[in-house]
Structure 1
Amino acid sequence: MTERVIRVGFLIFPGFPMSCLTSVIEPLRAANEISGRHTFAWDLIAEGTEPVISSAGIAFEPSRSLADTANCDYLLLLSAPTSVFAERSSPAHLRRAARHGTILGAISGGVFPLLRSGAVGDAALSVHWCYEAAFLAEFPGVPASDQVIEITPRCVTASGAAAAFDLALHMVETELGAGIATEVACWFQHPMMRKAGVQQMVPVLGEGSKQEDLHPIVARAIDLMARHMSVPISMAEVAEDLAITPRHLERSFKRATGQNPTNYYRAMRMKAARQIVMYSNDTMMQIAEAVGYASSKVLVRHYREAFGISPREDRQRINLTRVKGNLPVPSV
């Protein structure tokens, strides 16, 4: 009897995060070794035939082109958020693969070109918290999931490299069972097998802790602020929604974060603005509107106070470090 082989294709773009690639391949390799079966095989795929330079500056040689993905069970996109298709036919190749039964997916910034391809429809997409503002700015009608991984019958996404490891464990469990998946996790001292439904960890601004460690009142207040970026909410409204006094809100925030809620909210909006500066083509006025500023001049002043650099200078600085082949983002 012929052994079933699951073929995983990795579509890599210039500037792709190398850790996301190895975080999938290594668990699959270990699963083959532990099980004594050749269940998983993988290929590096690119739009062309030239080596692809990762974000670490290391070149990877693709084994085949995107036009030749007929036998892939999974096709996972790995890229920076700013990556664009070099070939006009590439989105059509992805849509064709989806029609013929390939499960499409993306890791970290790969969700951007995946969605731009039009190949995944309204599938749930896991979006890393550091890209969320830029993602919502480019795709305002698409829900960005804050889950570590999202798995649907036709699409799989992982928010980052550690999440990619969890996605690989899911693939191992599906094909070889929970016992092999657990042994793979233990091989790599992976602390736990996170499945769908686990929320991403988000750092608290200015603190060495995670949002999930915060007092419930402060965590709920931050969630309210995050849901009111483009149309800001006042601290009085936050307190009213939480059924506490503004004074109680301020005391709770200072104890938990070392900042008052107004300053914390502004810092959140500045971080969101910086994501859009770095990972989108939006103009300064569009960025201002996305984070709740009626005037781009005020945003620029607050941005400079927060980061010591203007948005225009920040975008130019980021473009200087982009890997060759990654098109620069136009100046704001």
Structure 2
Amino acid sequence: MRTEREMTALILGVAERDSRVRAVFMNGSRANPNAPRDIFQDYDIVYVVEETASFRAQPGWVDVFGERLVMQTPDEMDHAAGQPTDLARCYGYLMQFADGNRIDLRLMTLSRALEECQSDSQTIVLLDKDGILPPLPLPSDTAYHIRRPDQTAFAGCCNEFWWTLPYVAKGLWRGRVTYALDTLNACVRPQLLHMLSWLAGTRTGFAVSAGKSGADLPAYLPAGCWERYLSTYADAEPGHVWAAVFAAAPLFLDARIRLPRRWLSRSTKRRPKEACVICTGCVSCPRMLQKFFEQLFPPTASVFIPFRKGAALKMNRSSKTVQWTKGPLM
């Protein structure tokens, strides 16, 4: 596998020899001083060019970077699919090489490059033949820090979580486990991750990044919180999906209760108590969950779902009762 020094020399060497390339800058994790280093980090590179047409007319020009296993040209694909693109200003090549390295290379005209480098705090100028790029601050991940939500975003997150959660139950009732899992992961989980990210933000002064898919959150959440989040990932066994549902709901509520009540929108506060009890978290779990979960029963006479640390959930469809056994919820 080529080293970072070798890859950087290659990227700059190609740019220096090609008169069409006037500047080079890098962004992404390799430009983030707080990102852990490993051999699988991509090289996110921008070549500032006078035009893109001559490059697009010679697809093989990227062969100079080495033997590829696979390549994707996302702008070309979007253009072919009829999506809005501006190939004359920006054109990308995502290249996975046989030695394990990867370069995500984008060609940008100067006007487009100025928009990019001034909006991304993780930017390092590697080459500027004509002094066309502006002075940039030292690279940091500030542009990716968790943002404090406004009232609209916070209320929308709460509403979307509780609105989509019953769809998981609906899928399980109908025996459509793939639908249930897709809804859990595509609709419910993003709202849970938002809530946990905001919780991490309040504990750190909103001075940290959650990382991709929340991967950096364990360092900023209360003890045991990340383990509870991991328990919401389920395989295709219906009972395990039910367990994930009943793990996600109390975790969402616990995170919500720890956040400032001032984030509630005025419209939420004016709603009748029975309409907003779930969203505001004004009734503690599991008492509140009992009313909500009575509508989510599996189509069996009774269900016993074990959780970690000695806790378990007992549900009885005929009597419509929910009972937590001794021990913590998780």
With structure 1 as the length reference, what TM-score do the two structures score?
0.26
The structure, 1 or 2, with the larger RCO (C-alpha pairs under 8 Å, 6+ apart) is: 1
Name whichever structure is richer in strand by fraction. Answer: 2
With structure 2 as the length reference, what TM-score do the two structures score?
0.26
Larger Rg: 2
